[in-house]
Amino acid sequence: MTMIASKSNTDALYLLHEGTQYQSYQFLGAHLEERDGCKGVNFAVWAPNAKQVNVSGSFNGWDGTHHAMTMQEGIWTLFIPELEEGTLYKYEIVTLDGDRYLKADPYAFQTEVRPETASIIASLDNYDWQDEDWLANNTSNQHLQQPLLIYEVHLGSWKRKEDGGFYSYVELADELVDYVHERGYTHIELMPLAEHPLDSSWGYQVTSYYSVTSRYGSPKDFMYFVDRCHQKGIGVIMDWVPAHFCKDAHGLSRFDGSPLYEYADSRKGENPTWGTYIFDYGKPEVISYLISNALFWMDMYHVDGLRVDAVYSLLTLNFNRPEEEYIRNEQGGEEHLEGIAFLQKLNAVVFSRYPNVLMIAEDSSAYPGVTTPVEYGGLGFNYKWNLAFTSDTLEYMKKNQSERVGQEDRLTRSLLGTSDENYVLPYSHDEMNYPSKSLLGKMSGEDNWQRFANLRVLYTYMMGHPGKKLLFMGTEFGQMDDWNSEDSLVWGLLRNEEHQQFAEFVKRMNHFYIAEKALWELDFESNGFTSLVADEKEDGLVTLLRKSKTNNEQLIIISNFKPETHEGYRLGVMEPGRYREVFNSDKLEFGGSGITNDHSLETQEWFCQGYPQSISVNIPPLAAVIVKYMPTEG
């Protein structure tokens, strides 16, 4: 008995070959079934160019000739009775040239822990989800007007056991989730968890797109992790890698003896810089595979969004290609027309089924309309990482004080395009790994005090800058060393007072951000912020006014990027009345010098910086002060 035995299955295959089958994982792969009273497993795999495909595994001594599959419409199928969950298997591919090799199942739900590579029969059914309240409350499509504060995590190195072993999904579901919740983050972003053979790839070179990595436990263990996040009010974003896949022999590469998942033309089908293959976005079955996979993580694991890696590489045919090797599309341009069409289709389909998820583009290009809806000609993401903000601000912060003169535009030019896209401001893992140094390690300064002060003012400035926020693990307590994916974060630093104080600062800043609507409600509206220009262009001050939707909440964020104190600094303000300091990165408990504004700040009719009234503010060195307008009641 084969899979193609009913009209519904025939229709499913038709959609697969049309590129519109968005739940192909429901019938391709290995599925526990009962047929005519006999329990077993139905196997189905797409391999149209193979001469023969067999099922090989621990149940037949890895001799696939005992279990030959039959093919119809490019799909090979076989039902094998009496197989159970946990059984190891692969597909034995016989090519047209007579070569014979074993391949992992492209749709496997579970895979052996590396270096082993066999697929594992697994059921994703019957997990008792407890996140009903989260799902019920996550129905308003207003996330652009909500706080988004993301903690980016590599699960394998957030914390290690004493013997160097990994914490499991279940263990992390308690320790990591509580940690993130206490510090005020709204979401955890997980670096890729699809199964990958090489730890040092961090998950960005995948072999099994439907297998959550077994490094940290089983599929249902991961369900428990997501479930626990939701019960704590934390969303889960996962990095997703549809741009390329690794060449390991057991994976997707040359799957049926031919370039099946990748382009046949090596100029389009290989990324020489990364040593990987590029998906063939012109092939309908590949589109079905990838879009089904994006939805799979939402359908089966309740993931709340995907951060799509390396989007730029899907937008141009000449990504990382020397100019002498440039290729052109059929219209004569460099645009990767099939890659662009895939991204648009991906987002259109995802939002048609999950209108409230996060689809975030990691895109370093200047391609316009990344977060413009597809129906208006855009790519259709709802967020894009603002990598220019990251690069510019860090380049400024690396400079010594004498080198910062005239460089203030590195801090402010990102303010000119805040409404161009819906931005996330990321200080991500890319800025923390060798040899780029940790975030604290990048800060200039004559001593540790100045370095921590620089990081505090930078972090507060980021919180005041329009756009959602992302911070990589370890940055929140000031890890000095580069991030090492093969070891734990240096938690012992928290025994040091400086790091304790910085951790307390980040925690307090996070909770302040969540509590203040003015910092996030109008992130992408032109009336949501104003840059208040100082009298002296080179005084190291950047001042922003942020407003809430109803305009009854206003915050002024004054960031001082120089080590000079400004006592009684005259600051022009829009609204006459009373202001109050509500946050100060220079507080003693944060490790600062303790220069604050403890008194009420009343406006005076003193024309300043283009405004008819102003207030007098004490601004500490290398610090940010946030003052709030206090409207008169009644």
User: Is it the case that residue 4 has pLDDT exceeding 60?
Assistant: no
Domains and CATH numbers, the chain: 7-120 (2.60.40.10), 526-630 (2.60.40.1180)
Instruction: Specify the residue for token string 């994976």.
Output: 251
Q: Hey, how many other C-beta atoms are within 10 angstroms of the C-beta on 97?
A: 7
pLDDT, tens digit, 9 for 90 and up, residues 347-372: 999 999 999 999 999 999 999 999 99
Model pLDDT for residues 422-468, shown as the tens digit of each residue: 999 999 999 988 777 899 999 999 999 999 999 999 999 999 999 99
Residue 299 among the catalytic residues: no
Q: How many CA atoms lie within 13 A of 447 on its CB side?
A: 3
CB-CB contact of 335 with 394 (8 Å) = no
Taking a C-beta distance cutoff of 8 angstroms, is the pair 216, 172 a contact? Answer: yes
CA distance linking residue 402 with residue 399, whole number of Å = 8
Question: pLDDT tens across 463-482, in order?
Answer: 999 999 999 999 999 999 89
Indicate the residue type of 47.
Answer: A
Q: What is the average pLDDT value for the chain, to the nearest integer? A: 94
Residue from 189, 239, 304, 309 carrying the catalytic annotation: 309
Lowest average pLDDT, out of 131-145, 165-179, 563-577, 591-605, goes to 131-145
**Are 101 and 54 in contact, with CB atoms under 8 Å apart?**
no
CB within 8 Å of 390: residues ≥ 6 apart: 425, 426, 427, 428, 431
The mean pLDDT of 111-128, rounded to a whole number, is 97
DSSP 323: G
| pLDDT confidence bin for 273, thresholds 50/70/90 | confident
> What pLDDT digit, counting tens, does each position of 527-564 carry?
888 887 644 556 789 999 999 998 778 999 999 999 99
Is the per-residue pLDDT at 229 higher than 60? yes
Task: Annotate 463-507 with DSSP letters as a single string.
Answer: HHSSSEEEEETTGGGT--SPB-TTS---GGGGGSHHHHHHHHHHH
What is the average pLDDT across 180-208? 97
pLDDT per residue over 61-88, tens digit each? 999 999 999 999 999 999 999 999 999 9
Sheet holding 245-246, edge to edge: 245-246, 276-277, 270-271
pLDDT at 300: 98
Question: Cα dist. 550→419, 465, 521, 522, 574 in Å?
Answer: 19, 19, 10, 10, 16
Closest CA to 561 of 586, 583, 539: 539
> Active site includes 256?
no
Q: What percent of the chain has pLDDT over 70?
A: 97
The number of helix segments (H) and strand segments (E) in the chain equals: 15, 30
Three-state secondary structure call for residue 543: strand
Where are the alpha helices (H) located in 144-255, listed in sequence order? 155-158, 169-182, 219-231
Q: Which of 105, 195, 270, 362 is catalytic?
A: 362
- Which residues lie below 8 Å from residue 583, measured CB to CB, with a gap of 6+? 460, 508, 509, 512, 624, 625, 626
